[in-house]
Amino acid sequence: MKRCKVDQKCGACRYLAVPYSQQLIQKRNRVRELFPGVNVEPVLGMEDPYHYRCKIYCAFGYDRNGHVKAGLYQEHSHRIVYTDVCLIQNSRANAIIRDLCGIADQLHIEPYDEDAGTGVLRYGYLRVSHQSGDVLLTIVIGSHFLPKEKAFLSLLRKAHPEIKTVILNYNHGTDSMVLGPNEKVIYGPGSITDTIDGLTFSISSKSFFQVNPVMTAVLYQTALDLADLKKNETVLDACCGIGTISLLAARQASFVLGVEINPQAIRDAKKNAKINHISNVEFIAMDAEEFIRHLGERPDVVFLDPVRAGLSENFLHTLGSLQPDRIIYVSCNPETQARDTKILRRYGYRIRTMIPVDQFPFTPNIENVALIVRK
């Protein structure tokens, strides 16, 4: 096992001292407790559980010597725990963050002070393509401009040519949100691409894309295996995001409808369909509950992949009344998944099997894939 100097302070990976095989057992037991009587398969884990995060946030501040440093917030606080190396973050991202701090020091660009409302550098946000190694860097500032922008970009690009695009995001808010509403591209095309099972996806600063690309492929393949799609079947992807599950399912099904309330995500999904030359899919920007309430034909299979809060009661009642043959519920929060599946049981559904997938080694979090069928 590897050791970290700050794991007991920052709270990002509180299980670093627990053997990985034991973590997987604990996570399976947690799911079993939430779903008594359900067949919960062993957790699908990683061969190498380190440096898996390809979506990385950091906060900037001064260390005790007055140098610009980056780190993570201590759990339940806004105190920054500084570290040069994070054992769950992509190694390339760790190096970029270190050099970014050095360049800020060299150019005398100040970190943002939340209490005083002064300074510049607030957060760094990196997306790393697992397939190509390309990096999208978003610099979040609390000021109206980035001082010495040209020199900053020149030094950064010279040190890290893998950075293919840089975005300046403006966050003048007083809440805990990392990204502000406004941003501009100051270098490159504004996006990078990554692949899942042979499909290419465009990723911008605000696109939702799973943090662990190795296990994302496992997660989606698990969902598709449980769905067991047929060539004559229709699919509804009710939380489609940028179209990942929709486009993967479209290769196996007759037709896929992807629904998502976020218009930007739908624009990304349509772009991804074009990139991959997939035409048997349609993406619609609409509230999913409203959409299925007016859906003319019953889909054979419904995919659900909601946020941690889970699904609304109104949506679940509407979905239950729709009576699809099979529901694949992918959840990053088994507690809300357990709550939601109890409502679906009222409509004659049961959980046939569950397969947990460890997207987040060394943390308490677990992804859980459920196959839900009519009794």
* Strand (E) or helix (H) holding 91: helix 91-107
| Residues 224 and 252: beta-carbon distance below 8 Å | yes
pTM confidence score: 0.94
* Tokens (6 digits) for 152: 């900053």
Would the annotation count 149 as a binding residue?
A: no
Q: Specify the pLDDT at position 296.
A: 81
SS3 assignment, position 115: coil
pLDDT of residue 207: 85
CA 292, CA 238: separation in Å to the nearest integer? 9
What is the reported pLDDT for 8?
77
Helix (H, G, I), strand (E, B) or coil at 259: strand
Residue among 135, 123, 169, 168 at smallest CA distance from 150 = 168
Quick one: tokens of 301? 């299979």
326: closest CA among 346, 357, 304?
A: 304
Cβ-based burial of 105 (10 A; exposed 0-12, middle 13-18, buried ≥19): middle
Output the pLDDT for position 7: 78
Q: What is the pLDDT of residue 319?
A: 97
Is 115 annotated to bind a ligand? Reply is: no
Asked whether 263 and 269 are in contact (CB, 8 A), the reply is no
Nearest CA to 241 among 300, 302, 305, 177?
305
Query: Which residues on adjacent β-strands are paired with residue 125?
Result: 57, 138
Helix/strand/coil for 87:
coil
Query: Does residue 300 have a known ligand-binding role?
Result: no
CB within 8 Å of 135: residues ≥ 6 apart: 92, 93, 96, 126, 127, 128, 129, 160, 162, 163, 164, 192
Per-residue pLDDT of the chain (375 residues; tens, 9 = 90+): 788 888 778 878 889 889 999 999 999 999 999 999 999 999 999 999 999 999 999 999 999 999 999 999 888 788 899 998 899 999 999 999 999 999 999 999 999 998 899 999 999 999 999 999 999 999 999 999 999 999 999 999 999 999 999 999 999 988 888 999 999 999 999 999 999 999 999 998 888 888 999 999 999 999 999 999 999 999 999 999 999 999 999 999 999 999 999 998 999 999 999 999 999 999 999 999 999 999 888 999 999 999 999 999 999 999 999 999 999 999 999 999 999 999 999 999 999 999 999 999 999 999 999 999 998
Concerning whether 4 is annotated as a catalytic residue, the answer is no
- What is the pLDDT, as a whole number, of residue 375? 86
How far, CA to CA in Å, does 149 sit from each of 69, 109, 154, 213, 345? 19, 10, 9, 32, 57
- The secondary element (H helix, E strand) that includes residue 322 is helix 313-322
pLDDT of residue 215: 97
Question: What separation in angstroms does the CA of 197 have from each of 55, 249, 270?
Answer: 19, 11, 18
- In this prediction, residue 175 carries a pLDDT of 83
Catalytic residue (choose from 13, 54, 240, 332):
332
pLDDT at 4: 86
